[in-house]
A and B are shown apart, each in its own frame.
Chain A
Amino acid sequence: MLGIWQFTKGYVRLAVTGFSVERFLNMAAYRGVYLWDVERTPKGVELNVSINGFKKLKGCARKTKCRTKIIQKNGLPFILHRYRKRKLLVGGILFFLTGLFVLSSFIWRIEIEGNDFLHQDTVMAFLEEQGLRTGALKFRLDDRELQRAILNNFPEVSWADVHTRGTRTTILIAEALPSQELLDRQSPTHVIATSEGLITAIVTGAGAPMVRQNDVVRPGDMLVSGILELEPDTPGTALVYVHAYAEIWARRYHPIEFSVPFAYEEKIFTGRTANSHSLQLLFVGNRRITLPSGGNSFNSYDRITTRHQIGASGNYPLPFVLITEHYMEFTPQPRTRTPEEARDLAERLITSRIIREFDFGIDIVGRQVEFQETPDALIVTALITTHERIDKQVPITVPTPEQPQPPAQ
């Protein structure tokens, strides 16, 4: 630590010769000059002294009849003195420091963590709306403000943390389970259908059922009414509003239609690969510079693109993204499927569509698949039967007692 201080202040190595160097040392110490690394030489001593101390030593040398000679100059003042005429170097240093300051006052990387259901792009689009994007000025952004905005905008986010370290902003998100619309148990409600279907079971908790088993309903149809007439036989009787609730199951049919062509192309990879690199500069409108290496001369190829932001793992990600394109050559080989192979493929495609498109809570009760062969394709018609709940509560607006009027249905 002392060494750094001495380096910045500057010091000299001095050779002191004379009749009594001890007297010289004593006088220097007496005058408060700090000396260090004093070594004996055949003629006298060698010692280190700071630049300020050296000025005071001149008097000591004269009085004790010693001669001093500078052997070595060390430290920053001497280095600066040496380079004082090199304006370009000084300019370069200033330019570098300014560049460092300017570039580090932007956000160069945004990371979102903890989102399982919420899509990365949705959050990114929202952040961009709020002014956070790569290349945004750091001091214009308020992490707390952003945090609040995320919480307000996405009801499914239960907790969010935004923090900026260096040129990176990290957004941590905790998602809540999608909350159901809760209705006050006292408020009057109807139960309506969320989708079309054939009613299979009705379990009514409260309210007047409007449908029966085997009825076909369409979305929005009233299933259970929350408005009861006290005496159904006499018209114009008093009405009672109840909180209707029911569990209503229906059978639904989902048609799936697609065709599987018999002719297809198989990719046979030749094993030949090539790479090309380009550098994306985030600070000039995401411009891409293709680096002079690689490229490919393949006719048919698969391409894998990897993006690597330089310095992405540290606190100061830089606004350079190295993009590597990896090409793999293949030769397309025309093939034909047999009808059996086409059927197998069709079955697999149906299964994967069911997995992808249907919620977990839905029971699949039937799956009818019909095939129709044409000269060049297999036409697949599938009907998936499901058993699911289709009830949904909607609140009823009760007319105020001052203006009694029959509720419009």
Chain B
Amino acid sequence: MFRIKEKMAGALSVPKEIALDMPLVMATGRGEVSIENYKNILEFTDTRLRIGTKEGLMIIEGEMLKLRQITTENLLISGRIAEIKYA
């Protein structure tokens, strides 16, 4: 099911984050990261941020992490980012 949807999205060239609810991560330098289509925040400290997405758990590590904006679809994180990874 999932594969079919992905192929269709590819064939129709619809952006995947829209068709498949996939997270879209955009990092500006190392000071700001914007994550669209996140599911929930699992852990938030000033050095570590764990975020649930459709693709699994995403971990952002760094210093002085701050959530600049929280809306239903979008997270804007600022701070000194060291690592962005999926676990």
Contacts and interface: CB of A to CB of B under 8 A. Distances in A.
Interface string A14-38: 0000000110011011101011111
Contacts of A267: none
Contact of A29 (B42, B43, B71): B71
Interface residues of B, number: 15
A40 interface: yes
B69 A35 contact: yes
A39 interface: yes
Contacts of A45: 44
A37, A38, A45 — most chain B CB neighbours (10 Å): A38
A244 to B, nearest CB: 91
A48 to B, nearest CB: 10
Contacts of B45: 40
A39 B45 CA distance: 8
Interface residues of A, number: 17
A35 B66 CA distance: 12
Contacts, number: 47
Interface in A31-63: 32, 34-40, 45, 47
A5 B66 CA distance: 22
A25 B69 contact: no
Contacts of B65: 40
B12 interface: no
B41 A34 contact: no
Nearest to A35: B70
Interface in B38-63: 40-46
7 contacts: A22-B43, A25-B70, A34-B71, A35-B69, A36-B70, A38-B67, A40-B65
